């Protein structure tokens, strides 16, 4: 019931406004009316009291002598004369002791009034709307001779005051009604704008988020409307953003799923206690478990028994360092093992610390490693074997060279020796032709001996250990040139030798190179009356190239390829003796020094041999 | 004065003949004893084995020693001769076909007195033998025997 009344009174802003205005009016008007009535009442009382005081004083004056003399008749007349005042209730004259000498009520003459004041001063005994009772002493020659007491009662005052109250109530009601009416009108006007916003709100609630309130003006309702619209806009924007974010999140989740599920490696995510939080389908497939089965496998059981003992250590390492890469072997459901390389790292999963292990099946790599290992072993063995063979071959070569140097020469010596013996001892039995044949035999043996020596030299160069020292090619050239000059002092050969051609290499082998090149130059310029042999330096491809140049017989560039081939000769034995080993030897030494050698020449124009060293 | 004689350690009969011829041509007529291999040479010089009881006090004036020999090679013969007090100072000339540096070095290391390579050209060989005979048999003062 109370709630109904409350709903009725305060159910809407309009009603609240009306009730409020009515209540305000009621309170104000009531206070106003009450105040007026009160003031009216006070005014009446003042008037009555004044009237009573003036009347009692006037009577006291006029009755002074009568009272002193106790002229009861005169006093009675005087009192009766006062009854012309309608309001007068009573008028009493007493002596000093309060005995009534005259009274408007004749019957009470001679009685004593007990409630008279003690001091001879004006005293208001009662002052109310019903009765104003005033007593004043009667003084004759300043002697207190008696009392005058007057009672006035204005019977109409209460009536008037009641009238005032009734009218006030009426005014109050009228004011309340008018106020409520005005309040209703204003409330209606005021809330009309709020209702617009309310209807918009209801529509938005119903789902039409695009609608906006249209309240113009600059009052609070307009502000509210604008605020409400802006709130709706923001909400709409937030919804758009939220939708976009959700979409992105969905896409991201989709991508993650795609990556997670289509990864080429098995992925396990587990918490610090070793419980799996997620595994991808490749993990299930590889280990032969269903997803549910694998999720319930303890971490320690994922590895083979041989590996599982170090799972705790790995987890500890991972927790400490954040990431850990290691090789292990996982165990399939059927008990077989998968060699696996694990790349694990610490991550956060649903707000909790977790570990993600990306596991690569390295079976093939392992097989390949085993294979490589085997191959390596085989290779090593083969190298060892081959080295041994080479060593043996080298030794064989050495002993062969040794044999050649000893044994091949011995028969030659015999042939030569006995041919000469034959010539010397039995020369008289041979004709010219026979002697010539024996000379040819001897020449052939010399040639053969030279060939053997050259081959041995070549083989020695091949086998010799290479040393690396500072070598001055210029001084070497000078001394070789002097040596050559000594062999034939008749020849006119000019040597032009570049100074300070210093390099690094094997001094003995480089001496052989220069001996051969300069020897060749010397030999092939022998047909010229005057010759010039030059040793110099030039640059070739950023490297230092040394050269030996002569102006001798030269050669045809057509056959330049054959220059460095063993036993190949471009000239006949007749003019320029030789075995065809020299340049092969030179080339071999240059190659052993990491250098190259090449030649240029023309028939009868001379030849130039260049070489680099490393 | 003891007779000056030559010990030729040579397995090749042709070389032996050519050496003899060269010596003869150069009128070196001293006695020439030939050992066919290293073992025989050692037996002969040290008076052991097949030549036990040989008068080892009569040492050759010069030993012409080939390096490549059957049984015991020239270097080993040289080493053992130098080891033995009796033969430690016998002049030994290596007369060989080899010109291998290693051989030359080893020969001198083991105490040879000279190293001559046999030339193929007999004229040169002849000259070599002539010089050799002149030097070791005529000019050179052999170690004093105790």
Q: Do B120 and A409 touch (CB under 8 A)?
A: yes
Distance between CA atoms of A12 and A570, rounded to whole angstroms?
131
Distance between CA atoms of A458 and A580, rounded to whole angstroms?
11
Among the ranges given (A8-22, A471-485, B13-27), the one the predictor scored with the smallest mean pLDDT:
A8-22
Q: Is the pLDDT of residue A335 over 50?
A: yes
DSSP string, A517-552: HHHHHHHHTTTSSEEEEEEEEEEETTEEEEEEEE-S
Contacts of A401 in chain B (CB under 8 A): 100
ipTM of the complex: 0.80
Please give the pLDDT value at position A541. 81
Q: Is the pLDDT of residue A605 over 50?
A: yes
B118 reaches A (C-beta below 8 A): yes
B20 reaches A (C-beta below 8 A): no
Q: Do B121 and A416 touch (CB under 8 A)?
A: yes
CA distance A455 to chain B (A): 12
DSSP string, A71-94: -HHHHHHHHHHGGGSTTEEEEEEE
A575 closest CA partner among A516, A524, A517: A524
Residue-wise pLDDT for A245-283, tens only, equals 999 999 988 888 888 888 889 999 988 888 899 999 899
The whole-chain average pLDDT of chain A stands at: 86
Q: Is the pLDDT of residue A70 over 60?
A: yes
Q: How many CB pairs under 8 A join A and B?
A: 65
Q: Is the dihedral of CA A191, A193, A198, A203 positive or negative?
A: positive
How many CA atoms does the CB half-sphere of A518 hold within 13 Å? 27
Mutate one of A406, A441, A451, A456 to test the B interface: name it (highest B CB count within 10 A).
Answer: A406
CA distance B37 to chain A (A): 15
Q: Do B18 and A413 touch (CB under 8 A)?
A: yes
Q: How confident is the model at residue A533 (pLDDT cuts 50, 70, 90)?
A: very high
The pLDDT of A319-332, averaged and rounded, is 90
Mutate one of A407, A408, A413 to test the B interface: name it (highest B CB count within 10 A).
Answer: A413
Q: Which stretch, A182-191, A448-457, B28-37, has highest mean pLDDT?
A: B28-37
Please give the pLDDT value at position B142. 81
Higher pLDDT, A111 or A578: A111
Please give the pLDDT value at position B2. 56
Residue-wise pLDDT for B38-66, tens only, equals 888 988 888 887 777 777 778 899 999 99
Q: How confident is the model at residue A471 (pLDDT cuts 50, 70, 90)?
A: very high
Q: Is the pLDDT of residue B134 over 70?
A: yes
Contacts of A414 in chain B (CB under 8 A): 12, 14-15, 18
CA distance B117 to chain A (A): 10
CA distance B79 to chain A (A): 20
CA distance A382 to chain B (A): 32
The pLDDT of A317-335, averaged and rounded, is 89
Residue-wise pLDDT for A369-422, tens only, equals 999 999 999 999 999 999 888 888 878 877 777 777 677 888 888 898 899 888
The pLDDT of A92-120, averaged and rounded, is 86
CB atoms within 10 A of CB A346: 16
Q: Is the pLDDT of residue A218 over 70?
A: yes
Please give the pLDDT value at position A474. 93
Residue-wise pLDDT for A367-381, tens only, equals 999 999 999 999 999
The pLDDT of A217-223, averaged and rounded, is 82
Q: Is the pLDDT of residue A18 over 50?
A: yes
Among the ranges given (A510-519, A579-588, B4-13), the one the predictor scored with the smallest mean pLDDT:
A579-588
Q: Do B120 and A445 touch (CB under 8 A)?
A: yes
Q: How confident is the model at residue B1 (pLDDT cuts 50, 70, 90)?
A: very low
Six token digits for residue A460: 């020695």
Higher pLDDT, B93 or A559: B93
How many CA atoms does the CB half-sphere of A581 hold within 13 Å? 16
């Amino acid at each position: 019931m109370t709630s109904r009344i409350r709903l009725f009174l305060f159910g809407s802003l309009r009603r609240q406004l009306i009730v409020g205005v009515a209540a305000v009016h009621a309170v104000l008007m009531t206070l106003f009316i009450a105040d007026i009535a009160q003031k009216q009442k006070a005014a009446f009382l003042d008037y009555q009291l004044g009237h009573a005081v003036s009347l009692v004083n006037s009577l006291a004056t006029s009755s002074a002598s009568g009272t002193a003399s106790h002229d009861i008749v005169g006093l009675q007349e005087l009192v009766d004369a006062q009854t012309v005042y309608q309001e007068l209730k009573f008028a009493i004259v007493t002596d000093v002791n309060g005995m009534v000498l005259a009274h408007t009520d004749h019957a009470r003459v001679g009685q004593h009034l007990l409630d008279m004041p003690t001091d001879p001063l004006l005293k208001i005994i009662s002052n109310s709307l019903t009765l104003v009772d005033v007593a004043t002493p009667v003084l004759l020659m300043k002697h207190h001779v008696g009392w005058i007491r007057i009672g006035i009662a204005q019977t109409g005052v209460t009536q008037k005051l009641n009238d005032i109250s009734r009218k006030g109530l009426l005014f109050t009601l009228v004011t309340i009604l008018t106020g409520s009416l005005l309040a209703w009108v204003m409330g209606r006007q005021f809330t009309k704008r709020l209702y617009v916003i309310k209807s918009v709100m209801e529509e938005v609630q119903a789902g039409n988020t695009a609608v906006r309130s249209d309240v113009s003006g600059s009052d609070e309702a307009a502000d509210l409307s604008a605020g409400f619209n802006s709130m709706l806009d923001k909400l709409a924007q937030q919804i758009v953003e939220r939708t976009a974010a959700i979409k992105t999140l969905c896409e991201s989740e989709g991508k993650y799923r795609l990556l997670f599920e289509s990864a080429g490696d098995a992925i396990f995510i587990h918490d610090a206690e070793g419980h799996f939080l997620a595994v991808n389908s490749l993990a299930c497939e590889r280990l032969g478990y269903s997803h549910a089965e694998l999720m319930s496998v303890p971490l320690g059981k994922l590895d083979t028994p041989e590996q599982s003992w170090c799972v705790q250590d790995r987890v500890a390492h991972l927790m400490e360092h954040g990431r850990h890469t290691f090789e292990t072997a996982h165990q399939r459901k059927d008990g077989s093992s998968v060699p696996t390389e694990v790349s694990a790292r610490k991550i956060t999963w649903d707000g909790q610390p977790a570990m993600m292990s990306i596991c690569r099946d390295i079976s093939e790599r392992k097989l390949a490693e085993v294979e490589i290992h085997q191959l390596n072993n085989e290779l090593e063995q083969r190298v060892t074997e081959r080295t041994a063979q080479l060593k043996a071959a080298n030794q064989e070569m050495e002993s062969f060279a040794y044999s050649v140097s000893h044994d091949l020469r011995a028969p030659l010596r015999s042939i030569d020796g006995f041919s000469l013996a034959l010539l010397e001892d039995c020369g008289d039995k041979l004709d010219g032709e026979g002697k010539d044949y024996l000379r040819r035999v001897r020449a052939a043996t010399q040639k053969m001996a030279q060939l053997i020596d050259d081959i041995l030299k070549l083989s020695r160069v091949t086998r010799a250990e290479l040393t690396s020292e500072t070598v001055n090619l210029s001084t070497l050239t000078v001394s070789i040139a002097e040596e050559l000059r000594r062999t034939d002092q008749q020849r006119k050969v000019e040597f032009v030798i570049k100074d300070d051609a210093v390099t690094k290499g094997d001094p003995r082998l480089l001496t052989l190179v220069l001996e051969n090149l300069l020897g060749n130059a010397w030999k092939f310029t022998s047909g010229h009356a005057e010759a010039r042999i030059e040793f110099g330096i030039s640059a070739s491809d950023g490297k230092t190239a040394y050269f030996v140049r002569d102006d001798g017989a030269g050669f045809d560039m057509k056959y330049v390829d054959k220059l460095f081939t063993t036993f190949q000769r471009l000239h006949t034995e007749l003019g320029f003796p030789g075995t065809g080993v020299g340049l092969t030897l030179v080339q071999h030494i240059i190659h052993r020094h990491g250098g190259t050698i090449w030649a240029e020449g023309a028939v009868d124009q001379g030849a130039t041999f260049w070489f680099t060293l490393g | 004065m003891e007779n000056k004689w030559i010990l030729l350690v040579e397995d090749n009969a042709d070389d032996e003949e050519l050496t003899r011829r060269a010596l003869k041509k150069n009128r070196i007529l001293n006695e020439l004893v030939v050992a066919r291999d290293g073992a025989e040479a050692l037996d002969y010089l040290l008076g052991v084995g097949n030549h036990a009881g040989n008068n080892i006090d009569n040492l050759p004036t010069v030993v012409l020693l080939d390096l490549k020999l059957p049984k015991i090679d020239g270097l080993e013969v040289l080493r053992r001769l130098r080891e033995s007090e009796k033969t430690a100072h016998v002049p030994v000339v290596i007369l060989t076909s080899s010109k291998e540096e290693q051989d030359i070095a080893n020969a001198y290391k083991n105490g040879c007195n000279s190293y001559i390579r046999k030339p193929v050209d007999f004229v040169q060989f002849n000259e070599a033998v002539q010089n050799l005979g002149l030097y070791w048999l005529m000019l050179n003062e052999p170690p004093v025997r105790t």
